[in-house]
Chain A
Amino acid sequence: MRKRLAPTRRRFLGLAGSAATISVIPIVSLHPAEATPETMAAAIRTVVGGAVVQTGKVKLDIPPLVENGNTVPMTVSVTSPMSADDYVKSIHVFNEKNPQPNMGNFYLGPKAGRAQISTRVRLADSQKIIAIARLSDGSFWSVSADVVVTLAACTEEVM
């Protein structure tokens, strides 16, 4: 997804130097919507309700400086015996500056063996990512990470 930094500047620079373009619809983003710390908090509340979210047990592996905001590898793991009566039920990942606060929900169970998921996400801007785990005993645990996202140096003006 396109970063929202100075979209009009990008369009100007894009139109300034182009030669023959590929015959696809040029796509630019014009001031897209943005989540805020408040909408992220609201999205988190939808998942945890009124429960207290404690920090700990969860580990978020995400590069502190991303190679490219369009595809950022991310791994969330939770310390848990993953036994029949003590396991991770689900993992929820949120962000504060993409257009939407939710990124993904992952539902595990005692047969998972290891509470760890990996995926690749899009990050629109430098921001905080929060991962929350729901355990079988109803408790919630979280971790956050700050990620720096820079615009790629030479981007295309049309897709």
Chain B
Amino acid sequence: MKLTGTINVVALLVAAAMAIPPLAATEIPPNERRSGYTFMAPDTQAIQDDDTANPGMLWVLDGEALWKRKAGAAGKACADCHNDASATMKGVAARYPAFDKVLGRPVNLEQRVNLCRARHQEASPLAYESRDLLALTAFVAEQSRGMAIAPDATSELAPFVAKGRDFFMRRQGQLNLGCTNCHDDNWDKHLAGSAVTQALPTGYPIYRLEWQSVGSLQRRLRNCITGMRAQSYDYGAPGLVELELYLMSRAQGMPIETPAVRP
């Protein structure tokens, strides 16, 4: 179901004015939203619940070590500026992707780490999906565990949220499917043996059983989009960040679960 041009503009204006964007025609009502956790079998939930049995915690611990490690020509560690992450990073992941004034567009947590490395540590960027970058983002995001997802309400982000929403709603690819067709219209059903969830990224970077490793939201999205038989974005592409931004705004108010475990 497509929004007409007029309704789209009104929605944008209302979104800019309010912290919570209005529902697109087929979006899940806020009180019906469920984390991907609730779709999992109890055995899998148990893996996430126990910090000493959750493989994602191995990356969090790695990230904790990296946080203190000096890097780059400036010879600084994250801790040198940000001190104790459990205090300074609390709530950060809950409001990412966030607007970067210099670039004039939203950046995700991975990009923020690399921007910090470039701007403040004079260090080369960590490759997307590298162990170090996943460890650092898992560590930072874990500091927000339990906190409500609260994307920045600044009006600067609104047009990017709208672009992300457009992508989510648009039919595309060889199967002429839009993300919304499964994740809004059929989330209580199954695709083959797998539950169709609501596309609410509450626990990223996740330990995905399919990967047997921790991975980012972008990895999952590239996987989803290719799964739809549509042209996927490169890592770090603005379009992918916009989609991340929209998905996080979709999950607004839900608690961060990083490091989540998902099938």
A/B: CB atoms within 8 Å of each other: yes
B-binding residues in A (CB < 8 A): 16-20, 22, 63, 65, 67-68, 70-71, 73, 120, 148, 150-157, 159
Interface residues of B in 211-229 (CB under 8 A from A): 211-212, 219, 222-227, 229
B interface majority secondary structure: loop
Q: Are A73 and B47 in contact (CB under 8 A)?
A: yes
A-binding residues in B (CB < 8 A): 40-41, 43-44, 46-47, 128-129, 173-174, 191-194, 209-212, 219, 222-227, 229-235, 263
How far is it, in angstroms, between the C-alpha of A154 and the C-alpha of B46 when the chains are bound?
Answer: 23
How far is it, in angstroms, between the C-alpha of A151 and the C-alpha of B194 when the chains are bound?
Answer: 9
Q: Given A18-B232, A67-B263, is A154 in contact with B227 using a C-beta cutoff of 8 Å?
A: yes
- Shortest C-beta distance, B69 to chain A (Å), equals 24
Chain A residues with CB below 8 A from B233, complex form: 19
Q: Are B192 and A17 in contact (CB under 8 A)?
A: no
Q: Are A20 and B234 in contact (CB under 8 A)?
A: yes
Q: Which residue of B is nearest A13, CB measured?
A: B229
Q: Are B173 and A17 in contact (CB under 8 A)?
A: yes
- Shortest C-beta distance, B210 to chain A (Å), equals 5
Q: Are A73 and B46 in contact (CB under 8 A)?
A: yes
A interface majority secondary structure: loop
Q: Are B41 and A67 in contact (CB under 8 A)?
A: yes
Chain A residues with CB below 8 A from B41, complex form: 63, 65, 67
Q: Which of B174, B211, B219 contacts A17 (CB 8 A)?
A: B174
Q: Are B44 and A73 in contact (CB under 8 A)?
A: yes
Q: Which of A16, A20, A148, A154 contacts B224 (CB 8 A)?
A: A154
Q: Are A153 and B229 in contact (CB under 8 A)?
A: no
Q: Which of B192, B226, B230 contacts A150 (CB 8 A)?
A: B192
Chain B residues with CB below 8 A from A151, complex form: 192-193
Q: Are B263 and A19 in contact (CB under 8 A)?
A: no
How far is it, in angstroms, between the C-alpha of A120 and the C-alpha of B53 when the chains are bound?
Answer: 10
- 6 A-B pairs whose Cβ atoms sit less than 8 Å apart in the complex: A19-B231, A65-B41, A67-B44, A73-B46, A150-B192, A153-B227
Q: Which residue of A is nearest B129, CB measured?
A: A22
Chain A residues with CB below 8 A from B47, complex form: 71, 73, 120
Q: Are B43 and A73 in contact (CB under 8 A)?
A: yes
Q: Given A17-B173, A73-B44, is A157 in contact with B226 using a C-beta cutoff of 8 Å?
A: yes
Q: Given A18-B232, A73-B43, is A153 in contact with B226 using a C-beta cutoff of 8 Å?
A: no
How far is it, in angstroms, between the C-alpha of A68 and the C-alpha of B225 when the chains are bound?
Answer: 20
